[in-house]
Amino acid sequence: MLKSLPPATRAILIANVLVFAVYFLFLGRWMDRFALYPPGDPRFEPWQVITYAFMHGGFLHLFFNMFGLYMFGPALENQWGTRNFLVYYFASVLAAAGTQMVWTTVTQSYAPTVGASGGLFGILLAFAVLYPKQRLILLFPPIPLPAWLFVTLYAIFELYLGVTGTQAGVAHFAHLGGMLGGALVFAFWRTPRPRRVRYK
């Protein structure tokens, strides 16, 4: 199964599973060093804006993120190539981290953030942009929706949950930040570049 995945998708998936296994074996002793804390927290370190995306709070958290990566990542990597896929994924991860740090600073929340959800939400956005008519089926209720509508409704729902404070303990604004990072990459890629003029 893993052999059929393109290299970047496979590497990210394996890395997340291995980190979770190490975290489980060491009973979370690395949490304070690699989870994402707000910049004002004494436990904050610059590398956390990347490392948090390889840590998860439990098996189900890991499973659903990696399942989403497995379902949607290959289509994007096969179309873009490995390099562009990695650029896009980690831009989403960084934007999710930045958004979450702003939110936790404003709300004075000092709980750590972990999970690859920011990268995954960026991937969902890209899938909806590239394959808008592809049908996706909700787990509950099992209603097939075109990708563009599914992702739009999901984003609105995340915004609602984040603003109302519903479902505490979930970084809803990090999810939206991942989408924002993906949108910025799309905007950059689609901006016309000035042509180079060669003088003889």
> Any idea which residues carry the catalytic annotation?
117, 175
Query: How many angstroms separate the CA atoms of 103 and 109, rounded?
Result: 8
How far from chain centre, in Å, is Cα 187? 18
Cis, peptide link before residue 141, omega less than 30° from 0: yes
The residues near 154 (Cβ < 8 Å, ≥ 6 apart) are 124
Burial 181-198 (b: 16+ CB within 10 A, else e): bbbebbeeeeeeeeeeee
